């Protein structure tokens, strides 16, 4: 059993024949997708952002999650009859005869009370510098496992956060792509929220197709 926490990007690439690509149409379409943000949503995001600006260098992981990440994700409203947002739920799967397991900080998966098939994997870290472990690799390991549980039919989406920096990821077949960071203490906070709202529509389209 290989825990998500054990992996680095180099080890994932070598073990599973993965390749990082500089651009990906699925990622670009996701990041550039359109979603309306109301005045109320903008004001709420600015309130959350102000708290982040004051505290981001001092919050621990739990404080960052409770005070900023959690409210932003909850505000995007991922709870539906077909899928939900789950925190620290176990994912187990076998990739190329290697059993993988772990508990991502968050994921969007089919199911309402319990996760079934993951579509989006999320990992967070409390500090902008010197995090414990490799957040990109942990997210990618979870995405690779989710891909197997998904029968590799759809792209898998992911995100990891280091302090105020949000990185979005996609995985298709054995190729993955990581975005440039979006900085939540800047105007990027509206892009981050828009991208999350676009993700909801993407997952709605996937679940409607099944």
Q: Is the pTM of this model over 0.85?
A: yes
Would you state the pLDDT for residue 134?
A: 86
Q: From start to end of the chain, where are the E strands? A: 2-3, 19-20, 83-86, 91-95, 98-102, 106-110, 118-125, 156-162, 165-172, 175-178, 182-183
The answer for residues whose C-beta is within 8 angstroms of residue 26's C-beta and 6 or more apart is 155, 170, 172, 177
Higher pLDDT, 209 or 100: 100
Higher pLDDT, 9 or 126: 9
What is the rounded distance in angstroms from the CA atom of residue 176 to the CA atom of residue 28? 12
**pLDDT tens sequence across 60-113:** 889 999 999 999 999 999 999 999 999 999 999 999 999 999 999 999 999 999
- Ordered structural domains, the chain, with CATH: 2-209 (3.90.1570)
Average pLDDT, whole number, for the chain?
93
Name the 3-class secondary structure at 152: coil
In terms of Cβ atoms closer than 10 Å to its own Cβ (0-12, 13-18, 19+), residue 11 is: middle
Would you state the pLDDT for residue 1?
A: 79
From 21-25, 102-106, 151-155, 204-208, the region with the lowest mean pLDDT:
151-155
From 123-137, 151-165, 183-197, the region with the lowest mean pLDDT:
123-137
The answer to whether residues 31 and 168 touch, using CB atoms and an 8 Å cutoff, is yes
Span 1-23, average pLDDT: 95
Residue 119 has pLDDT above 60, yes or no: yes
Q: What are phi and psi of 177, to 5 degrees?
A: -140, 140
Residue 130 has pLDDT above 80, yes or no: no
Residue position matching structure tokens 């995405």:
143
């Amino acid at each position: 059993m290989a825990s998500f926490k054990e992996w680095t990007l180099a080890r994932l690439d070598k073990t599973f024949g993965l390749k990082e690509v500089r651009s990906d149409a699925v990622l670009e379409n996701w990041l550039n997708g359109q979603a309306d943000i109301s005045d109320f949503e903008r004001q709420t995001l600015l309130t959350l952002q102000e708290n982040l600006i004051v505290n981001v260098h001092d919050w621990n992981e739990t404080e960052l999650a409770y005070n900023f990440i959690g409210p932003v994700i909850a505000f995007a409203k991922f709870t539906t009859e077909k899928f939900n947002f789950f925190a620290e739920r176990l994912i187990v799967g076998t990739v190329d005869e290697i059993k993988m397991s772990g508990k991502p900080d968050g994921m969007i998966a089919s199911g309402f009370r319990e996760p079934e098939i993951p579509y989006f994997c999320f990992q967070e870290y409390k500090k902008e510098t010197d995090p414990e472990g490799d957040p990109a690799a942990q997210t990618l390991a979870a995405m690779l496992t989710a891909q197997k549980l998904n029968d590799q039919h759809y792209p898998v989406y992911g995100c990891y956060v280091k302090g105020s920096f949000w990185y979005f990821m996609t995985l298709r077949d054995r190729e993955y792509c990581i975005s440039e960071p979006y900085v939540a203490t800047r105007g990027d906070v509206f892009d981050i929220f828009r991208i999350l709202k676009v993700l909801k529509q993407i997952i709605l389209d996937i679940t409607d197709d099944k």
